[in-house]
Structure 1
């Protein structure tokens, strides 16, 4: 019997845990979205205006902590292993949600949000775990599954938080705590370590752990640096949705909270299907490079529909195009992992998560202020959809940059002599980890 075969169920369980970890992190994040502003209002004495200012500060500090600590966690995972970092983060989130559920003061809630941002930075370590256990040619599909986990949390979290918040404003925090602690317990007994000692870095280097020092890693790999810029532009464009979607659809089409909720749920559902199903099925046929060059232009079309539509039904036509743009992200991330040494996967994912967080720090202010300017009396032109038009331009630039980058990146070759699938087996997670990478695997060097 093949000696690798017994590890397959263990690897499948590990991938399932990482999938659940990302989904629960997003679920816990989404659950508190509808109630956090109301909890802030109750703690400051009922002032909506002051609550709006504090809510903005809460969002900024959360993304700032992600930016600072993602490379720290990535570098720690390269030194001490992925399992330890992920479990500590899950446990820390659980305790933090308990503190926020019981807090009697605004400053303690703010401190809890800082801790949440630090612990939730483990998303970079989860991606590094995927790069450890999934072979190169299947990583795009694996990252697509991670995108699906993100989408599921985005769909379910706010709806569940709104329902629980109707019962008690602090109940969503308790539920988020339970989810995180259950995730910790499950991982403690199930999750194996993906990075053996011989593949770890020998020491923790603060030069690599700070967010700006982490970018030096990207500079060492020119193709990775260019693809990381594409990754940043994709994430920056997405914040046009976060910062203006609700106000724009109300201003342009008169949509209320119910219609907005339904349409956002549709966006999340379509995104999840693209990430979990289409990426996995199209990758073997088209490869990473073609998927990137197909997904980015389609996403440009989606944002233009959003920004230029004069009627609600035309706006809705943009949703499929926008979601199909999700074909580009996972293969771009997979190509980057193929160019970086195995012991630097944590640093790579930490750098990428910091780039996404950096987009989250500046993106909302950029798009929200542009929207406000172009609907004001002193607007240079009346263009309410300016945020989405700018997002389309950013992705057009990303398409050109991606075309340059992928010409110099060699896609992963299929594994030699792959083990045949078991008769009747149908499991996306089992399929992704069917051929686990060996410790001696090295990334293909760029030409």
Structure 2
């Protein structure tokens, strides 16, 4: 791989890393930031935290196919560079935001600028030789994994210097990558492969219609959806829960989420292959559900942070439950309520999966 390819590959990896950092960066400082701007209780901050996380995820979902189609028509280079430039400005706006509405607008724009995964993947495909495609797409996955780890780590560490410090750092990273891409990124969309912009291909719901036509997959899609809603209790309320229950600082929250990301990477990158070979696919899913069910139950009632460290629907649901059980005057004070909800959802997902087992399995 020559320099003409290595430098663009490095740019793409940094870009997807910044995309993945978008949510994790703000999580460790979100409780303190919202209360600094809005005032009020941790329960009220949790509700706004759910809104901010949700709008970011919704914008990513809606605009990813749109940006991909714009890159097919106008080129990968302008879409990637403009997105990064706007991302830089967006982080600077959030760094000085003095109202919750300006912070909400920043999350809306941030979700759009972080929706370049499809464009980045298309650019990687354009510049990769046939023999290198699989390896290079593996690098994109690694870039996302690094971003998921670095986001909360940077947010938590810099959060010790103030709730705005992570945004200034993210703006600097995005600005440097914009300048880097401006000088080394060449356009790969030629007239031979250029495609007209079509709203039908930019529709994010189109994939659901295609998948719905596949036989015997509907039940498994529901399993995956319910499991994902339950599992995303971690980014949704972890910072609020650990601050309320254990009095953790943003740095500790960030470190715990970074450790969580590292463990996920180790399992998905290697350990899962051994487990699948030992248990098989069906039993791996069943035992995974059971393990998560026990973990959610333990976290909901744990009072030692030592044990806790061992362990575009979810944010609103989980933060609303957290707020309902921790706000002043709540009928029952129970910060662990979101994990009980996740426990029940995990059992529901497991029940659906058990129903879907092929008769011959």
TM-score between the two structures when normalised by the length of structure 2 = 0.72
Q: What is the CA–CA distance in structure 2 between the aligned matches of 1:76 and 1:194, rounded to whole Å?
A: 14
The separation in 2 between residues aligned to 1:197 and 1:227, in whole angstroms, is 43
Determine if contact 1:32/1:172 at 8 Å carries over to the other structure.
yes
Contact 1:240/1:388 (8 A) holds in 2: no
Per-residue deviation at 1:76? 1.6
- 8 Å CA contact 1:89–1:119 kept in 2: the answer is yes
Q: 1:306 aligns with which of 279, 295, 312?
A: 295
C-alpha deviation, 1:135, in angstroms: 7.5
Q: Give the match for residue 56 of structure 2.
A: 62
**1:341-420 counterparts in 2 under 5 A?**
361-367=312-318, 385-388=340-343, 390-391=345-346, 393-394=348-349, 397=352
1:319-338 paired onto structure 2 within 5 Å: none
Number of residue pairs matched by the alignment: 344
The separation in 2 between residues aligned to 1:193 and 1:153, in whole angstroms, is: 25
Distance 1:241-1:11 versus aligned 2 partners, 3 A rule: same
**In structure 1, what is the equivalent of residue 270 of structure 2?**
278
**Aligned match of 1:208 in 194, 201, 204?**
201
Give 5+ residue unaligned stretches, structure 1: 1-6, 320-360, 405-447
**Mapping of residues 70-149 of structure 1, within 5 Å:** 70-132=64-126, 145-149=139-143
Q: Which stretches in structure 2 are left out of the alignment for 5+ residues? A: none
Matched residue SS, 1:270: helix
- 1:59–1:243: structure 2 CA closer, same or farther, 3 Å change rule? closer
Q: Counterpart of 1:176?
A: 170
Tell me: CA distance 1:305–1:197, structure 2 relative to 1, closer, same or farther (3 Å): farther
* Structure 2 counterpart of 1:154, from 137, 148, 156: 148
Change (3 A) 1:296 1:11: farther
**In the TM superposition, what is the alpha-carbon distance from 1:184 to its structure 2 partner?**
1.1
* Secondary structure in structure 1 of the residue aligned to 2:116: helix
SS in 2 for 1:207: coil
Q: Secondary structure at the match of 1:169?
A: coil
Distance 1:292 1:114, change over 3 A: farther
In the aligned structure 2, how far is the partner of 1:228 from the partner of 1:119?
31
- CA distance in 1 between partners of 2:178 and 2:35 (Å): 32
Report if the CA contact (8 A) 2:23-2:53 is conserved: no
1:187 equivalent in structure 2: 181
Match of 2:192 among 195, 198, 201: 198
